[in-house]
Structure 1
Amino acid sequence: MIKKCFLVLLLIGGLQFIQAQKIALLKYNGGGDWYANPTGLPNLIAFCNQNIETKLDPKPVTVNPAGPEIFMYPFVHMTGHGNVIFSESEAENLRNYLLGGGFLHIDDNYGMREYLISALKKVFPDKELKELPASHPIFHSEYQFPNGLPKIHEHDGKRPQALGIFDDTRLVLLFTFESDLGDGWENEEVHHDPKEVRLKALKMGANIIKYAFEN
């Protein structure tokens, strides 16, 4: 309860509270490369600070799903290609974090979905991922994405999907699939994406950041 109350206080004021605020990267177990896209988050932070008036610390921090420090960070990002495992204590801690006001963005870097679905069942046994319509505010919080989640990398050629878990009407978890925003956030020389593709990924990332802090 103390953790939940602290996080609620931490989130009051939305983007105005981001003075030197840090965002976090989730270090999970299971063998998946949680550390993928090392230049992605720093580039997204720089873009947000330059374009949507945030004051985020330029260096994200790494947090453990079971650690109390996760409650210090209103926004947590998770990515990777492979297996994801949450222990019972990790699942409970994540659930308390999210229901207490936190926000988790999970970006499938390709090959993560089948493992993630099982892991999320531990966190929210009674909740299902639901696809967000293109009209959802997260696609319009700063930049306009009238067709919903943009396609950044082809992967299996499927349409991009933004899937969410809600606590009542509040979106607490966003899972982006068949888009790979994180690759688009990386330095140009990593994936050689065209400038317009990288900008599209960064704008969508900025929308997610802004939405998470304002809702």
Structure 2
Amino acid sequence: MKKLCFIFLFITITSFSQEIALVKYAGGGDWYANPTSLPNLIKYCNATIHTTLNSKPATVEPSSPNLFSYPFLHMTGHGNVIFSPNDVTNLKKYLQSGGFLHIDDNYGLNQYIRKEIKKIFPNDDLVEIPSSHAIFQKPFVFANGLPKIHEHDGKRPQAFGIFIKNRLVLLYTYECDLGDGWEDPEVNNDPIEVREKALKMGANIINYIFNN
């Protein structure tokens, strides 16, 4: 019954409000980094792939029952992350019931977030997502997979995921920094072609959520 209620809630969200949310986590990391990124992604998606996302994203804590009101959660930052036992339980239920979490390493998150993901899925490993996956294919084609937005350590960008019954439910983007590419142009002074790549990849993520 809980799963049916959750599915009905997602149908309602998809049909009417389509609100997405930023995760406010504990541990001291700057969960609030990139304040203009989600609003810009929302604007881009509404204009190019015809979503009807609310212009202002919500903010939600991992243990909140409100988590189940959002089909898409975004999480970013540079520092420490700690998921409490209640956070872990709630996030796992959310993802098992059809929710989606995108974690974007804003440089410095990697060493912390991998341990916290393992708390949620102790029996599953993050796997690298191949460029053939649907998330890289539509509506915009990324033949080489995740685009490189910021250099960081000069490593190649990688997209990792957790799958439940062949459905991607958790996306972790590393050495890429999509969120920086979504920010207002003057924040990072990225060339327009770099910002466009970041926004197109973000649109692919949103498209995947509502169409798979």
Question: Is 1:186 aligned to 2:183, yes or no?
Answer: yes
**What whole-Å deviation, never above 9, does each CA across 1:21-80 have from its counterpart, x for those lacking one?**
210000000111000000000000000000000000000000010000000000000000
Distance across 2 between alignment mates of 1:38 and 1:18: 27
Amino acid at match of 1:47: Y
Q: CA deviation at 1:88?
A: 0.8
Match of 1:65 in 2: 62
Report the CA distance shift for 1:8/1:23 in structure 2 as closer, same or farther (over 3 A): same
Give the aligned partner of residue 102 of structure 1.
99
1:132-191 deviation line (CA, Å, top 9, x unaligned): 000000001210000000000000000000000011201000000000000000000000
SS of structure 1 residue aligned to 2:16: coil
Distance 2:144 2:111 in 1: 25
Tell me if 1:51 matches 2:48: yes
Report deviation, 1:13: 8.6
CA distance in 2, matches of 1:90, 1:71: 13
Shift of 1:5: 2.8
For this pair of structures, how many residues does the alignment match?
212
Matches within 5 A, 1:1-215: 2=2, 4-12=3-11, 17-215=14-212
User: Would you identify which runs of 4 or more consecutive aligned residues in structure 1 move more than 2 Å?
Assistant: 4-7, 10-14, 17-20
**CA RMSD between the two structures:** 1.3
Percent of residue pairs identical: 62
Alignment partners' CA distance in 1, 2:194 and 2:41: 14
Give the distance between the partners of 1:119 and 1:29, measured in 2 at CA.
Answer: 11
Secondary structure class of the residue paired with 1:7? helix
CA distance in 2, matches of 1:190, 1:35: 15
What are the superposed Cα offsets for residues 75-114 of structure 1, whole Å, 9 maximum, x if unpaired?
Answer: 0000000111001111010000000000000000001011
TM-score normalised according to structure 2 size: 0.97
Distance between the aligned counterparts of 1:182 and 1:190, measured in 2? 11
Please say which of residues 152-161 and 119-128 is displaced more in the overlay. Answer: 119-128
Q: Partners of 2:97 and 2:17 in 1: how far apart? A: 22
